[in-house]
Structure 1
């Protein structure tokens, strides 16, 4: 899937299904993540991070650059861009914001706004090793193919919730990151439709 195909699919959707998020009983702390789509001539690739392994929360998990909103941020875009610059050294000037997905609430008490941006492929990254162990790219077409999404169900407070997993090479993308990718897939690919359609 290249840039033109992505934009056509993303901006011409009428009704989109979203995966169930965690039903917080309070307003979650506002947060934003950047879904960086690296714009190669023939395809888009998703830039993901592996969180540092010494972190207290979510150590080693695969994530998008992002975090909690700060008072000086222009939320949500400002938060997503600031966090991306802090975590992986991605300059805001290298990102073209093209849209956002619906909010997604997490069991950890955040209400995440996913912001989507196109990134120039020659962008140099400088990882903050206090937060990020590594960064890697995966093809958007692979991540959007729901045949590659695995589902596990968990039970909490008498309710059943799906947890999604997307394996890619040596990485396992799961939790909120996988759910956000799955939600993006609903914006791009109608149910039971292939990427080639």
Structure 2
């Protein structure tokens, strides 16, 4: 079998020529380090806390699939050319899981020995979790890896374009509560964006990007990555950075919203 690669061996960047990439994604795939720059320039909270929590621990490799569906052509009237119908594939973890229970995430998981990392890992995990047909996915680029405590993973995001979207659903209810195709403009709109904060390690305050749409609260690694991708791709619209909410209150608000709206996902 192929030896298990370390994330340091993965060279981030575009995997195909620009002609095979939708125009509204080219700013992202052409400068993938801008994503990590955006994370590091948010004030250092996430980077500092992640480094502290994972100091001295053996990190495991994992990959997530950041999958976009929508029109090929850019919208010249929207920042970064983002078309009105672009969606991103997200899922909500089951509330019974030991780690990251109830959180919204990209499909993904740990690398299996013998498979090509990170692309095959991301596609396999997405298929296992959402019943995605990988034949309809064009893999475009890989981003730099990010440490994710407390799970101890170094995660490599894989950017994909859903050329031929297939039906998706939660394959295993013990692992996944919902699968959602979320409109990206709605997710990035000013009414959906804010920040959440909470105390960690008995006193340090975590503060990071968050989004609320369709009863889904997106925060933590996934919220931070979406915010950094939007910044790097030029999709940001003005929003209220001073809107900072306590995480527990935001989670409760999302649960109430999901209960009122039902489960459109």
Q: TM-score, normalised by structure 1?
A: 0.83
| Deviating more after overlay: 56-65 vs 35-44 | 35-44
Say what the alpha-carbon RMSD is for the aligned residues.
Answer: 2.6
Contact 1:101 1:184 (C-alpha < 8 Å) held by counterparts? no
Per the alignment, residue 136 of structure 1 pairs with: 180
Q: In the aligned structure 2, how far is the partner of 1:72 from the partner of 1:146?
A: 44
How far did residue 36 of structure 1 move? 1.2
Q: Provide structure 1 residue ranges, at least 5 long, that are not aligned to the other structure.
A: none
Per the alignment, residue 110 of structure 1 pairs with: 153
Q: Provide structure 2 residue ranges, at least 5 long, that are not aligned to the other structure.
A: 1-20, 40-45, 73-82, 239-265
Structure 1 residue 177 and structure 2 residue 222: aligned?
yes
Contact 2:195 2:209 (C-alpha < 8 Å) held by counterparts? yes
Per the alignment, residue 125 of structure 1 pairs with: 168
Q: In the aligned structure 2, how far is the partner of 1:14 from the partner of 1:171?
A: 27
Per the alignment, residue 30 of structure 1 pairs with: 61
Structure 1 residue 150 and structure 2 residue 181: aligned?
no
CA offsets 1:112-137 (integer angstroms, 9 cap, x no match): 11111111354122421232121112
Q: TM-score, normalised by structure 2?
A: 0.63
Structure 1 residue 18 and structure 2 residue 38: aligned?
yes
| Deviating more after overlay: 51-60 vs 100-109 | 51-60
Per the alignment, residue 100 of structure 1 pairs with: 142
Q: In the aligned structure 2, how far is the partner of 1:145 from the partner of 1:187?
A: 16
Larger radius of gyration: 2
Number of residue pairs aligned between Structure 1 and Structure 2: 191
Q: In the aligned structure 1, how far is the partner of 2:212 from the partner of 2:184?
A: 13
Contact 1:52 1:131 (C-alpha < 8 Å) held by counterparts? yes
Higher RCO (CA 8 Å, separation ≥ 6 residues)? 1
CA offsets 1:146-178 (integer angstroms, 9 cap, x no match): 771324253437755423321112111111111
